[in-house]
Structure 1
Amino acid sequence: MAIEVAPLPLPPSADPSKFAEFGREVKGINPGVLTPEQFKEIEELLYKHSVLLFPNVEVTPEQQYALTKAFDPTSESYGHGNNKTGETKKSILHPDLKTIPRVPQVQLIGNGVVYNHEGLAEAKLKHPSHTTFHKTRVSEEDEAKGVTRFYRWHIDAALYDLSPPKVTSLYGITVPKGNKQICRYDDGTGDELEVPLGTTAFVSGKTMFEILPSELKSLAVRSRVKYAPHPYVWMTPAHAKSTGLGIEDEGLEEPWDQLPSWQESKIKIFPLLWKNPVTGGLHFQVHPCGICELYVDPLPAGASREGALYPDGAHITDLATVRDVLYKMQRPAIAPSLVYPHDWHEKDLVLFHNRGVLHTVVGAFAPDQVRAFHQCNLAASDDPVGPSAEDMAKWA
């Protein structure tokens, strides 16, 4: 049977003009048993469209790992290191992940208690919620009415030592149904978004760059961001903004000398813009919660200085300033019209280009609502590639 491809079903809130190339639904193929030729077609589709949905498919943990690994054949360990999240009790990720024993690159995530699952006799899962991470929270009265928030916009990546995965796969096994929720931004804009219960929300890093005004495009193409060592331990005591897009500047982060042992050589410094290996396009890919410093290159010779930001370059170490600069650049792209909130069904397999999108968990479940997903991403064999000399000449 030939591979069938169709646009993803967009919610009424989405601006169709911004999703012309984003997201495809793929039918007529079993992603767990692809031929080499079929995989090449899927690989190209993913890099062109960022998110692929395979509805109603049967995929074992072994098949999910093999499919994810095919995008980066020399990768081996889970994106945060095999079994590492369970051992790092201080990490903010610790409650969210349970490793499948026989395939340690695949994690069980969800909500509630799951019994006798893929070698796990009992797994107590916790769906991450804004109520435990944001500086402020939706009132219990509003929460009872279905009001919620984005949890944490992010890239799947350790951001220390290991390279960011190229692709993440998510497979829905048990998907509780319920009323839609209203995701409120609570940032003074009045923005809100109707979302399915327990959605995974995606935004395009390509769109995030393309909608910037020229002076911020110039800043983005010239900049690199430095991440804190062990960033998920570093950020654990801190609180997120109400939009889930970064950390409030309260000075609550774990002091670097209190973090697990770290080495300067393993700290990650990445360009703000990551180059798509198929399209050549630039995707704005910054995990706003883990950032600590910003490096800006000076304008190239001959470039116009009119209206330019940091025309002579800069090394910004003030954390509040770093966060403010990045927030101004990233916030426009999470506007309701630019968010794709996936409506999960059991046996949905979603592949997404982890170096081309940001995503977040949304919403909250009652303790007795059982939800089980398999997640797989692999620490990559290389770091992302930034803008080329031609990109610099075009945008700086």
Structure 2
Amino acid sequence: MKIHSFIKRSTFLIISFLTFNLGVQAQDYYVYVTAESEDEVALVKFDGKKASIEKTIPVGIWPAEIEGPHGINISPDGKYWYLSIAHGNPYGTLYKYSTESNEVVDTVRLGLFPASLQVSKATGLLYCVNFDLHGDMVPSTVSVVDPEEMIEIDRIETGVMPHGSRISSDGMFHYSVGMMSGELFEISTTKLKVTRKLSLDGMEEEKSSMGGMDHSKMDHSKMGHSMMTESAAPMYHSATKPTWAIPHPTNGKVYVAGNGSDEILEVDLDQWEITNRFKTGKAPYNCDVTPDGKYLVATYKGSGETGIWDLKKGEELPRIKNTRNVTHGVTISSDSKYAFISVEGIGGEPGTMDVIDIKNAKKVASVDMGKQAGGIIFWKME
């Protein structure tokens, strides 16, 4: 009887232990994804096996027009999500939503085609680049917003068509790229000014000899690299065409997506120069680094693929083919296990979010949503 009782108790303890461990390991991941051609934002849940739409949130105020939700991010405390609506009359708008209700809290008008954005945990201010997609080829700005009052307090001039941007892990510096001027910009989040800029095309000397390249005086109507303006100054369009910048959490590097040169550029912050180049698939667009610092994940917009780079080895894992052909954005879970990829689709195709197991370089789930899935941000695990 004692042996039988011991076996029963032992079996019960083993089953309880396994059940407890499975319960601890089970995680739900939540991600917000914009559908730019539907004026929608999808809240997506991934339970470790399956991805599903928890809620679809209509955005914008003009039902008859496509306003284009573009950039999206979460407040450091997780209570709010911020959304840039790119197409305005003519200016775009920043929206503040509650993560509890997914309803609008407040708005503020920004510049031409506001795009990527983030709140600094050091200053509490929000920084949003004004991409100016449809404007003249002149330097644009980064808007600085007080997200509590939703008031724009400053605009900092950077390069031509500033696009992908992210803030350092300590919240002290904002990094962005000028897509057409081919530059990386560092902004002090406390001083609210550009502290350094770097030509990613190695064109500093040539630009200097051109008198600083006054873009406001150029004739961009012909859009030819060899054409001349009326003032005889040759037009400059970046060969690198950088579209994203992501600072590493610990190693003192910033990684830049070279959309035009098919590479990821590694910039050393101490030396303030390019120290490595990773040859990628066609037209890398967005990139992110795992919170543990081990991997960089990049979307290859031109080939419909996702690339994962082991940063210690400097090697790429097997590329993952995405569900559709125009791969856009990437965000990574806080446990560094999964990358969530937005894929635009073509024509009338729906947008899609793919889930990728980073360590194993394998697509494990996907879910369709509104057309032209673009901006994407990880919210939480629970």
Same fold, TM-score > 0.5, yes or no: no
More strand by share: 2
More helix by share: 1
When Rg is computed on C-alpha atoms for both structures, the one with the higher figure is 2
Which structure's relative contact order is higher, taking Cα pairs within 8 Å and 6+ residues apart?
A: 1
